[in-house]
Structure 1
Amino acid sequence: MFKQTLRTMSKHPISKTEAEWRAILSPSQFAILRQKATERPDTDKNLAGSTVGVYTCAGCDSPLYKSSTKFDAHCGWPAFYEAIPGSVELFEDHSHGMTRTEMVCAACGGHLGHVFRGEGYDTPTDERHCVNSISLKFKKDE
């Protein structure tokens, strides 16, 4: 189910050099998407409320989450109960002295956040995809 964390970010359909990523991403986006940083809690700029649309990768614009799968987990980061099929890859993450499930954009390999299971949320999957808001863009349905 999981791939090991030892991987290169160049094995994705959208591949750029570090310089190319730096040219198109803000410093915060680069730190999170390319260097696996985490934004401070409650910096969510993607509060779409009841707006219908799709959350896309801030690095490559690939669709990641439907707005209908977003829920309020009161954790300080955007939370979704499932990704669009095939849009996210999962890896075991053993950083910071713990084992977690990292998720990255399947198209560009950009770090999105982590998936947590079995926390008891009343969602169809009992999963919480905890995503850095800086990793996302919102596109309203027309």
Structure 2
Amino acid sequence: MSEDSKFTEQYWRETLTPEQYHVCREKGTEAPFTGEYWDVFADGTYHCRGCGALLFESETKFDAGCGWPSFSAPADKGAIDEEFDSSHGMRRTEVVCHNCGSHLGHVFPDGPAPTGLRYCINSASIKLDK
């Protein structure tokens, strides 16, 4: 993660809405089927809500039926970091923005070919650039 000094607590509070802050900075989760992008399939690129880094491309977005935006691969392997998450009594792999450390969601091994991965991402942590 970048150690950029602009990512202060004040920056996060001024940049993000309360829901975005909860998801991105407190590792929260929006309710399924409620986020801005769960059912959007427009062409474009998805960027980190906190810092603007490119994270995902629309070509890899698919309907997983889970209620969150799902992608089969990040735009670049270096765009995200993976961390072990044992919260809520589960064993999962959390994904965070490599640039600013914002919580994005989780990755699961039940996605489509060719990767077999499903990046299950909170709409509150991404922004679509059409």
TM over 0.5: yes
Matches within 5 A, 1:112-127: 112-117=104-109, 119=110, 121-127=111-117
Q: Secondary structure at the match of 2:84?
A: strand
Residue 94 of structure 1: aligned partner = 86
- Which has the larger Rg? 1
Cα gap change, 1:37/1:106 in structure 2, threshold over 3 Å: closer, same or farther?
A: same
Residues 5-48 of structure 1: per-residue CA shift (max 9 Å, x gap): xxxxxx42445121221111100000000000000000131244
Matches within 5 A, 1:13-24: 13-15=3-5, 16-24=7-15
Q: Secondary structure at the match of 1:28?
A: helix
Residue 111 of structure 1: aligned partner = 103
Structure 1 segments of 4 or more deviating over 4 A? none
CA RMSD in angstroms, aligned pairs only: 1.3
Alpha-carbon shift at residue 66 of structure 1 (Å):
0.6
Residue 60 of structure 1: aligned partner = 51
Partner AA of 2:112 in structure 1 = D
TM-score after normalising by structure 1: 0.84
Residues 52-98 of structure 1: per-residue CA shift (max 9 Å, x gap): 21000111111000100000000010000000121100011111111
Aligned residues: 127
Tell me whether 1:128 sits opposite 2:118 in the alignment: yes
Residue 27 of structure 1: aligned partner = 18
The runs of 5 or more residues in structure 1 that have no matched partner are 1-10
